[in-house]
Amino acid sequence: MRHRVTRGPGNSEDGTLKPYSEAVFQAAEDLRYLLNHGYQRKNLKSLLQLVGNRYRLDRRQRTLLGKAVFSDAESERRRGKLADASEIQGHTLGIDGYNVLLTIEAALRGEPIVLADDGLIRDIAGRSSRYAPGEATTRALDLVLDILARYPPREVVALFDERMSKSLRLASEFTARLEQHSLCGGGSTSKYPDEEILAEELISTSDSAPIDRASRVFDLAGYVVREVLRTELTALGWAPSTGGPPHGDTIARAPNATRD
Protein backbone atom coordinates (compact mmCIF):
# COMPACT_ATOMS: atom_id res chain seq x y z
CA MET A 1 0.00 0.00 0.00
CA ARG A 2 1.37 3.39 -0.97
CA HIS A 3 1.04 6.09 1.64
CA ARG A 4 -0.97 9.18 0.93
CA VAL A 5 1.23 12.25 0.90
CA THR A 6 -0.52 15.35 -0.33
CA ARG A 7 0.18 18.95 -1.19
CA GLY A 8 -3.08 20.12 0.33
CA PRO A 9 -5.50 22.87 -0.66
CA GLY A 10 -5.23 26.52 0.23
CA ASN A 11 -7.98 27.80 2.49
CA SER A 12 -10.62 25.94 4.45
CA GLU A 13 -14.32 26.30 3.75
CA ASP A 14 -14.69 29.06 6.34
CA GLY A 15 -12.02 31.12 4.62
CA THR A 16 -9.26 30.63 7.22
CA LEU A 17 -5.76 29.79 6.08
CA LYS A 18 -4.79 26.13 6.39
CA PRO A 19 -1.30 25.13 7.52
CA TYR A 20 -0.64 23.75 4.02
CA SER A 21 -1.67 26.66 1.82
CA GLU A 22 -0.03 27.43 -1.52
CA ALA A 23 1.84 30.26 0.19
CA VAL A 24 3.45 27.76 2.57
CA PHE A 25 4.81 25.71 -0.33
CA GLN A 26 6.22 28.82 -1.98
CA ALA A 27 7.78 29.91 1.30
CA ALA A 28 9.26 26.43 1.75
CA GLU A 29 10.90 26.66 -1.66
CA ASP A 30 12.37 30.05 -0.77
CA LEU A 31 13.63 28.84 2.61
CA ARG A 32 15.19 25.74 1.08
CA TYR A 33 16.87 27.91 -1.56
CA LEU A 34 18.39 30.12 1.14
CA LEU A 35 19.62 27.12 3.16
CA ASN A 36 21.16 25.64 0.01
CA HIS A 37 22.99 28.87 -0.78
CA GLY A 38 25.01 29.64 2.31
CA TYR A 39 22.46 30.77 4.86
CA GLN A 40 22.98 28.91 8.14
CA ARG A 41 20.23 27.13 10.03
CA LYS A 42 21.43 28.82 13.22
CA ASN A 43 19.81 31.93 11.72
CA LEU A 44 16.52 30.09 11.23
CA LYS A 45 14.51 32.60 13.25
CA SER A 46 15.57 35.44 10.95
CA LEU A 47 15.04 33.33 7.84
CA LEU A 48 11.54 32.38 8.95
CA GLN A 49 10.76 36.02 9.57
CA LEU A 50 12.00 36.90 6.09
CA VAL A 51 10.02 34.29 4.15
CA GLY A 52 7.12 34.38 6.59
CA ASN A 53 6.63 38.10 6.16
CA ARG A 54 6.92 37.84 2.39
CA TYR A 55 4.11 35.27 2.19
CA ARG A 56 2.15 36.58 5.20
CA LEU A 57 2.36 33.30 7.11
CA ASP A 58 0.95 32.90 10.58
CA ARG A 59 2.84 31.51 13.57
CA ARG A 60 1.72 27.92 12.98
CA GLN A 61 2.78 27.98 9.34
CA ARG A 62 6.20 29.35 10.28
CA THR A 63 6.56 26.56 12.83
CA LEU A 64 5.74 24.08 10.08
CA LEU A 65 8.50 25.48 7.86
CA GLY A 66 11.01 25.30 10.69
CA LYS A 67 10.26 21.63 11.32
CA ALA A 68 9.98 20.52 7.71
CA VAL A 69 12.51 22.37 5.55
CA PHE A 70 16.24 21.64 5.49
CA SER A 71 19.10 22.06 3.06
CA ASP A 72 19.68 19.28 0.54
CA ALA A 73 22.98 18.34 2.19
CA GLU A 74 21.50 18.20 5.69
CA SER A 75 18.53 16.17 4.47
CA GLU A 76 20.70 13.65 2.65
CA ARG A 77 23.03 13.24 5.62
CA ARG A 78 20.18 12.57 8.03
CA ARG A 79 18.32 10.18 5.74
CA GLY A 80 21.51 8.16 5.53
CA LYS A 81 21.16 7.52 9.28
CA LEU A 82 17.57 6.30 9.19
CA ALA A 83 17.12 2.69 10.24
CA ASP A 84 14.38 0.23 9.34
CA ALA A 85 12.31 -1.24 12.16
CA SER A 86 14.09 -4.58 11.86
CA GLU A 87 17.40 -2.92 12.73
CA ILE A 88 16.40 -2.21 16.33
CA GLN A 89 16.07 -5.91 17.05
CA GLY A 90 18.95 -7.08 19.22
CA HIS A 91 20.36 -3.58 19.75
CA THR A 92 19.97 -0.97 22.49
CA LEU A 93 17.39 1.72 21.73
CA GLY A 94 17.17 5.12 23.39
CA ILE A 95 13.76 6.79 23.14
CA ASP A 96 12.94 10.45 23.79
CA GLY A 97 9.62 9.57 25.40
CA TYR A 98 7.72 12.82 24.99
CA ASN A 99 9.01 13.43 21.49
CA VAL A 100 7.71 10.07 20.32
CA LEU A 101 4.43 10.01 22.23
CA LEU A 102 3.38 13.58 21.38
CA THR A 103 3.81 13.00 17.65
CA ILE A 104 1.70 9.85 17.78
CA GLU A 105 -0.92 11.60 19.92
CA ALA A 106 -1.11 14.45 17.41
CA ALA A 107 -1.75 11.94 14.63
CA LEU A 108 -4.43 10.20 16.70
CA ARG A 109 -6.17 13.56 17.15
CA GLY A 110 -6.05 14.26 13.43
CA GLU A 111 -3.64 17.16 13.73
CA PRO A 112 -1.31 18.07 10.82
CA ILE A 113 1.63 15.70 10.37
CA VAL A 114 4.47 16.54 8.00
CA LEU A 115 7.04 14.39 6.21
CA ALA A 116 10.08 16.64 6.46
CA ASP A 117 12.84 17.04 3.90
CA ASP A 118 15.19 14.95 6.07
CA GLY A 119 12.86 11.94 6.03
CA LEU A 120 11.60 12.37 9.62
CA ILE A 121 7.90 12.61 10.38
CA ARG A 122 6.96 15.47 12.70
CA ASP A 123 3.92 17.13 14.21
CA ILE A 124 3.74 20.92 14.43
CA ALA A 125 2.30 21.23 17.92
CA GLY A 126 4.31 22.86 20.66
CA ARG A 127 5.37 21.09 23.86
CA SER A 128 3.85 22.45 27.06
CA SER A 129 5.06 21.83 30.61
CA ARG A 130 1.37 21.56 31.53
CA TYR A 131 0.91 18.50 29.31
CA ALA A 132 -1.20 15.83 30.98
CA PRO A 133 -1.46 12.22 29.75
CA GLY A 134 -4.88 11.11 28.57
CA GLU A 135 -6.61 8.49 26.46
CA ALA A 136 -4.46 9.36 23.44
CA THR A 137 -1.35 8.76 25.56
CA THR A 138 -2.55 5.28 26.51
CA ARG A 139 -3.25 4.49 22.86
CA ALA A 140 0.15 5.87 21.82
CA LEU A 141 1.89 3.70 24.42
CA ASP A 142 0.01 0.65 23.14
CA LEU A 143 1.18 1.36 19.60
CA VAL A 144 4.80 1.92 20.64
CA LEU A 145 4.96 -1.27 22.71
CA ASP A 146 3.42 -3.29 19.88
CA ILE A 147 6.28 -2.23 17.60
CA LEU A 148 8.93 -2.90 20.23
CA ALA A 149 7.47 -6.35 20.88
CA ARG A 150 7.50 -7.09 17.16
CA TYR A 151 11.16 -6.07 16.83
CA PRO A 152 12.54 -6.57 20.36
CA PRO A 153 15.65 -4.50 21.10
CA ARG A 154 18.31 -5.88 23.42
CA GLU A 155 17.39 -3.07 25.82
CA VAL A 156 14.99 -0.13 25.69
CA VAL A 157 15.79 3.09 27.52
CA ALA A 158 12.88 5.57 27.42
CA LEU A 159 13.67 8.97 28.91
CA PHE A 160 11.02 11.53 29.85
CA ASP A 161 11.86 15.18 30.38
CA GLU A 162 11.62 15.74 34.14
CA ARG A 163 10.46 19.32 33.57
CA MET A 164 7.24 18.05 32.01
CA SER A 165 4.16 17.23 34.06
CA LYS A 166 3.59 13.58 35.03
CA SER A 167 7.01 12.45 33.77
CA LEU A 168 7.61 10.05 36.65
CA ARG A 169 4.17 8.51 36.16
CA LEU A 170 4.80 8.00 32.44
CA ALA A 171 8.26 6.55 33.04
CA SER A 172 6.85 4.07 35.56
CA GLU A 173 4.04 3.09 33.22
CA PHE A 174 6.48 2.58 30.37
CA THR A 175 8.60 0.29 32.56
CA ALA A 176 5.53 -1.73 33.52
CA ARG A 177 4.51 -2.04 29.87
CA LEU A 178 7.96 -3.32 28.94
CA GLU A 179 7.71 -5.99 31.64
CA GLN A 180 4.27 -7.03 30.38
CA HIS A 181 5.80 -7.59 26.94
CA SER A 182 8.85 -9.40 28.38
CA LEU A 183 11.12 -6.66 27.05
CA CYS A 184 14.35 -5.60 28.72
CA GLY A 185 14.79 -1.99 29.79
CA GLY A 186 12.80 0.73 31.48
CA GLY A 187 11.60 4.30 31.57
CA SER A 188 13.06 7.07 33.69
CA THR A 189 13.06 10.84 33.98
CA SER A 190 15.91 12.96 32.71
CA LYS A 191 16.83 16.60 32.65
CA TYR A 192 18.43 16.16 29.22
CA PRO A 193 16.75 13.21 27.48
CA ASP A 194 17.86 14.26 24.00
CA GLU A 195 21.49 14.00 25.16
CA GLU A 196 21.30 10.90 27.32
CA ILE A 197 19.64 8.74 24.66
CA LEU A 198 22.83 9.10 22.62
CA ALA A 199 24.44 6.50 24.89
CA GLU A 200 22.41 3.82 23.08
CA GLU A 201 23.16 2.16 19.73
CA LEU A 202 20.06 3.59 18.07
CA ILE A 203 17.86 6.51 19.06
CA SER A 204 14.22 7.37 18.46
CA THR A 205 13.46 11.08 18.21
CA SER A 206 12.72 13.68 15.57
CA ASP A 207 14.78 16.40 17.29
CA SER A 208 17.53 17.67 15.02
CA ALA A 209 20.33 18.03 17.59
CA PRO A 210 20.55 14.39 18.74
CA ILE A 211 19.93 13.10 15.23
CA ASP A 212 22.97 15.01 13.97
CA ARG A 213 25.12 13.39 16.67
CA ALA A 214 23.71 9.86 16.43
CA SER A 215 24.98 7.00 14.28
CA ARG A 216 21.60 5.39 13.57
CA VAL A 217 18.07 6.72 14.04
CA PHE A 218 14.82 4.78 14.09
CA ASP A 219 11.86 7.11 13.63
CA LEU A 220 9.59 5.19 15.99
CA ALA A 221 6.80 7.77 15.97
CA GLY A 222 7.08 8.06 12.20
CA TYR A 223 6.84 4.30 11.81
CA VAL A 224 3.65 4.18 13.87
CA VAL A 225 2.16 7.14 12.00
CA ARG A 226 3.12 5.79 8.60
CA GLU A 227 2.80 2.02 8.86
CA VAL A 228 0.16 1.50 11.55
CA LEU A 229 -2.11 4.55 11.58
CA ARG A 230 -1.64 5.19 7.86
CA THR A 231 -1.96 8.89 8.55
CA GLU A 232 -2.13 11.27 5.60
CA LEU A 233 1.20 13.07 5.43
CA THR A 234 2.09 16.34 3.78
CA ALA A 235 5.53 17.05 2.34
CA LEU A 236 6.65 20.55 1.42
CA GLY A 237 8.93 19.33 -1.33
CA TRP A 238 11.79 16.94 -1.84
CA ALA A 239 15.41 17.54 -2.69
CA PRO A 240 16.01 16.01 -6.16
CA SER A 241 19.57 14.96 -5.31
CA THR A 242 18.30 12.43 -2.77
CA GLY A 243 16.48 10.23 -5.24
CA GLY A 244 13.01 10.81 -3.85
CA PRO A 245 11.10 9.94 -0.70
CA PRO A 246 11.82 6.80 1.35
CA HIS A 247 9.71 3.66 1.56
CA GLY A 248 7.92 4.27 -1.74
CA ASP A 249 5.86 7.24 -0.62
CA THR A 250 4.11 9.30 -3.25
CA ILE A 251 4.64 13.04 -2.93
CA ALA A 252 2.46 15.67 -4.55
CA ARG A 253 4.53 18.83 -4.81
CA ALA A 254 3.47 22.40 -5.26
CA PRO A 255 4.17 24.10 -8.59
CA ASN A 256 7.47 25.95 -8.82
CA ALA A 257 7.12 29.33 -7.27
CA THR A 258 8.03 32.33 -9.40
CA ARG A 259 10.81 34.37 -7.86
CA ASP A 260 10.80 38.13 -8.00
Q: What is the 3-state secondary structure (H, E, C) of 25-46?
A: HHHHHHHHHHHHCCCCHHHHHH
Given a cut of 70, whether residue 51 has pLDDT beyond it is yes
Averaged pLDDT of the chain: 86
- What residue ranges do the domains of the chain occupy? 4-251
Q: Residue 53 phi/psi, 5° resolution?
A: -70, -40
What digits encode the pLDDT tens for the residues 54-76? 999 999 999 999 999 999 999 99
Given a cut of 60, whether residue 238 has pLDDT beyond it is no
Spatial distance between the Cα atoms of 79 and 238, rounded to a whole number of angstroms: 12
What digits encode the pLDDT tens for the residues 96-152? 999 999 999 999 999 989 999 999 999 988 766 678 889 999 999 999 999 999 999
Give the burial string for 116-134 (b: 16+ CB within 10 Å, else e).
Answer: bbbbbbbbbbeeeeebebe
What digits encode the pLDDT tens for the residues 180-200? 999 999 999 999 999 999 999
The tally of CA atoms less than 13 A away on the side-chain side of residue 244 is 7
